[in-house]
Amino acid sequence: MRQVWIPKAGPPEVLELREARDPIPKHGELRIRVAAAGVNFADLMGRMGMYPDLPPMPVVPGYEVAGRVDAVGDGVESDWVGRDVLALTRFGGYSDAVCVPEAQVSTRPEGFSAEEAAAIPVNYLTAWQLLFVMGSLHPGETVLVHSAGGGVGIAAIQLAKHFGARVFGTASAGKHDRLKALGVDACIDYTREDFETRVRELTHGRGVELVLDAVGGPSFKKSYRSLAPTGRLGMFGLSAAATGKKRSLLRALGPVLQTFNLRFAPRGLMDANKGVFGVNVGHLWDETDRVNAWMERLLALAEQGVVKPIVDRTFPLERAAEAHHYLQDRKNFGKVLLTA
């Protein structure tokens, strides 16, 4: 098999394609011949040495794949073999073959390509948890989605619009027309305008009921201030710390300190009637039943045409470095994938 490794922290060019023997599925596992693997922002942070969840280097990153099952381990029904599937991988997804516990594998929805299927797990599970599990979004409420043109952003827009919410999105200006076509009610070019001021204008001073923020740094505070009474802030990332393509602790220090020094005092939350919460889907490996139940709902919505991943670009495994550049240069509208 072929795999993309991060041998050491650095710019995208550190990524290395290596050959290895095919893995043998252990008890309870299936082996997937990977057709497409998701590229996530966490992979970029991991490559820069700024993602504490990544196992020690050298490591094969990758949280999600789609492909066909070609072997099963003990304890797994043989009728999985030959089935088209998608799966969450606890790293190792940047490969053309990977073994995954059965509980993390689902059958690919009818009519979906492998590329579309690989774009579902991380983005849509994250959006689901943010919007409905923890964000308690209700029809008629307004949600502000940061990085609206990204993988999680588009997933959140599709789900929130389907459930009858109003959506504001921040993104660079070149993405606004495509966001409006997805039903976004107001687009904010965060590079030119202050999103907090714009939210106040758009809501006549009231604020929004929910904000999804993975930008972090100064953004969390501003997002919190953009909440209406009873509003909730969902924090789930720190893109602002990715200030270059190599690890620079000095450059990242500002956003990191601004994020981790943030205090939400109980008294302030009570008096303002606001809530804050955090999401990290990558820390829910022991909550398989719950995550699988969310996945089932998402796959049903995929069959109905509600969940419709937008695949922006695919790069072959050997061009993984270009995929990282593309995402980090903010060029993507939707999902970036590696193909085997």
Q: Which residues bind ligand NAP (CB under 6 A)?
A: 40-42, 122-123, 126, 147, 149-153, 171-172, 175, 214-215, 236-237, 239-240, 242, 279-282, 327-328, 330, 332
Angle at 236 between CA 333 and CA 283, to 5 degrees: 115
DSSP assigned state of 239 = G
Q: Which is nearer to ligand NAP, 30 or 154 (CB)?
A: 154
What minimum distance in Å lies between the beta carbon of 311 and ligand NAP? 12
What minimum distance in Å lies between the beta carbon of 147 and ligand NAP? 4
Q: Which is nearer to ligand NAP, 175 or 274 (CB)?
A: 175
> What residues contact residue 51 under an 8 Å CB cut-off, 6+ apart?
42, 45
What minimum distance in Å lies between the beta carbon of 204 and ligand NAP? 25
> What residues contact residue 272 under an 8 Å CB cut-off, 6+ apart?
227, 229
Q: Which is nearer to ligand NAP, 5 or 124 (CB)?
A: 124
Q: Please state, as a whole number, how many other Cβ atoms lie within 10 Å of the Cβ of residue 261.
A: 7
Q: Which is nearer to ligand NAP, 97 or 238 (CB)?
A: 238
Q: Which is nearer to ligand NAP, 142 or 147 (CB)?
A: 147
Q: Which is nearer to ligand NAP, 97 or 129 (CB)?
A: 129
Q: Please state, as a whole number, how many other Cβ atoms lie within 10 Å of the Cβ of residue 197.
A: 12
The answer to whether the Cα torsion of 294, 295, 300, 303 is positive or negative is: positive
Query: How does DSSP assign 44-73, residue by residue?
Result: HHHHTT--TTSPSSSB---SEEEEEEEEE-
What minimum distance in Å lies between the beta carbon of 310 and ligand NAP? 10
What minimum distance in Å lies between the beta carbon of 38 and ligand NAP? 8
Judge contact between 242 and 220, C-beta under 8 A: no
Strands 105-107 and 97-101: unpaired
Paired strand residues for 301: none
What minimum distance in Å lies between the beta carbon of 226 and ligand NAP? 16
**Rounded Cα–Cα distance for residues 307 and 295 (Å):** 11
Reduced to 3 states, what is the DSSP secondary structure of residue 74? coil
What minimum distance in Å lies between the beta carbon of 220 and ligand NAP? 12
Residue nearest to ligand NAP (CB): 150
What minimum distance in Å lies between the beta carbon of 174 and ligand NAP? 8
**Residue 274 phi, psi dihedral angles, 5° rounding:** -125, 155
Q: Which is nearer to ligand NAP, 80 or 190 (CB)?
A: 190
Q: Which is nearer to ligand NAP, 105 or 179 (CB)?
A: 179
**Rounded Cα–Cα distance for residues 168 and 117 (Å):** 26
Judge contact between 84 and 262, C-beta under 8 A: no
